[in-house]
Amino acid sequence: MPFPLLLALAFASTAVLAGFFGAFTTFSSFAFDCHELLAARRFGLFAANVLGQNLLGIFGLAAGILLGARWLRG
């Protein structure tokens, strides 16, 4: 196998693993925080956490799509 292809495969596998484990730890932290808020019966903060996390995620997604589209257009 040529060296550039091996290098590309190594980079891709590293990126996929880093993305997977990064997402896994982010989600587990979110779930833990939600659980702790519910266990402490802090329902308002729980709702604010869930709503805020989801709204920020949707905003980030929309911003990424718009910036990506603008970048592709040149």
For residue 68, the model assigns a pLDDT of 94
In this prediction the pTM is 0.68
Which tens digits make up the pLDDT trace of 4-36? 788 888 888 888 888 888 887 888 999 999 999
Q: Identify the pLDDT of residue 44.
A: 98
The pLDDT assigned to 1 comes to: 67
Query: Which value, to the nearest 10 degrees, does the dihedral of the CA atoms of residues 11, 15, 21, 24 take?
Result: -160
User: Cα separation of 42 and 12, whole Å?
Assistant: 42
Q: How far apart are CA 9 and CA 54, in angstroms?
A: 33
Number of structural domains the chain divides into: 1
**Host domain of residue 56:** 3-73
> What pLDDT, in 10s, does the model give residues 35-67?
999 999 999 999 999 999 999 999 999 999 999
